[in-house]
């Protein structure tokens, strides 16, 4: 789901404030309090460049679980923790610029 406020600020650099929560209720204003016309096609198509970070946060095991993985990797000579981290990073890659 698109974060309308974040998308509007990213796509319409003259916008200084956004009010409302839905496409039907949002109004955007510039520095002179003039209404800015929003290009909703672009807003709805916008992809948050930080989305991979949020996805990774959800996919990573908790810190406690990761520490436990590291402990048992050290005891058993395994690489479970590294494999977990690699899998998350592969599933949610950083976008290329």
Is the predicted pLDDT of residue 2 greater than 80, yes or no? Answer: no
| Cα 41 to Cα 11, 13, 51, distances in angstroms | 11, 16, 19
Is the predicted pLDDT of residue 1 greater than 70, yes or no? Answer: no
Q: pLDDT tens for residues 39-97?
A: 999 999 998 999 999 999 999 999 999 999 999 999 999 999 999 999 999 999 998 86
Q: What is the pLDDT of residue 95?
A: 85
- How would residue 27 be classed by pLDDT, with cut points 50, 70 and 90? very high
| Cα 39 to Cα 15, 22, 26, 27, 45, distances in angstroms | 12, 14, 12, 12, 10
Q: What is the mean pLDDT of the chain?
A: 94
């Amino acid at each position: 789901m698109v974060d309308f406020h974040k998308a509007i600020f990213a796509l319409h650099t003259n916008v200084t404030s956004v009010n409302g929560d839905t496409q039907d209720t949002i109004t955007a204003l510039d520095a002179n309090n003039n209404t800015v016309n929003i290009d909703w096609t672009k807003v709805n198509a916008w992809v948050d460049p930080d989305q991979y970070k949020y996805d990774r946060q959800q996919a990573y095991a908790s810190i406690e679980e990761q520490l436990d993985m590291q402990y048992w990797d050290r005891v058993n000579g395994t690489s479970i923790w590294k494999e977990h981290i690699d899998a998350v990073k592969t599933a949610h890659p950083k976008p290329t610029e």
